[in-house]
A = this chain, B = another copy of it.
Amino acid sequence: MAPIRLAMVQTNPVVGAISANLDEIFAQVRLAAAEGAKIVVFGEMATTGYPIEDLAQRESFVVAAESAIAALATRLSDAGLGNLYVLVGHPALASEPNGWAIAQNSASVLHGGKVIGRYAKQHLPNYSVFDEYRVFVPGTDALTFEVDGTRFGVLICEDIWQSGGPVAMLRDANIDVALVLNGSPFELGKQATREDLVTGLAADLDATVVYVNLCGGQDDLVFDGASLAAGPDGKVVARARAFDPDRLVLELEGNKVTKVEGNHHADASDLALVWRALEIGLRDYVNKNGFPSVILGLSGGIDSAVCAALAVDALGPDRVFGVSLPSRYSSDHSKSDAFDLAARLGMQIRTEAIGDMVQVAEDQLKLTDLSAENLQARIRGLTLMSLSNSEGHLTLTTGNKTELAVGYSTIYGDSVGGYAPIKDVAKTMVWELAKWRNSVAEAMGQVGPIPENSISKPPSAELRPGQLDQDSLPEYDLLDALLEKYIDERLGRAEIIAAGFEPAVVDRVIGLVDRAEWKRRQGAIGPKITGMAFGRDRRHPITNRYREI
Contacts and interface: CB of A to CB of B under 8 A. Distances in A.
A539 B493 contact: no
A375 B386 contact: yes
What is the oligomeric copy number?
A: 2
A387 B365 contact: yes
Interface stretch (A307-315, A462-470, A517-525): A517-525
B416 A17 contact: no
Given A59-B492, A127-B99, A360-B360, A54 B365 contact: no
Contacts of A431: none
Interface stretch (A226-234, A341-349, A377-385, A438-446): A377-385
A168 B134 CA distance: 25
Across chains A and B, which 4 residue pairs bring their CB atoms closest together, nearest first?
A: A60-B492, A16-B546, A371-B389, A17-B545
Nearest to A369: B390
Interface of A: 14-18, 20, 48, 51-55, 57-61, 63-64, 99-101, 126-128, 131, 133-134, 218-219, 284-285, 288-289, 352, 356-357, 360-361, 364-368, 370-371, 374-375, 378-379, 381-383, 385-387, 389-390, 411-412, 416, 418, 490-495, 518, 521-525, 538-548
A524 B54 CA distance: 21
Nearest to A515: B289
B16 A541 contact: yes
Nearest to A20: B545
Contact of A367 (B99, B390, B416, B525): B390
Given A412-B382, A521-B525, A289 B543 contact: yes
10 contacts: A15-B545, A53-B540, A60-B495, A63-B492, A284-B543, A357-B357, A361-B379, A365-B383, A367-B389, A371-B390
Contact of A546 (B17, B365, B381, B521): B17
A545 B365 contact: no
A100 B58 CA distance: 28
A538 B60 contact: no
Nearest to A544: B16
Given A352-B364, A524-B522, A61 B492 contact: yes
Contacts of A385: 374, 378, 411-412
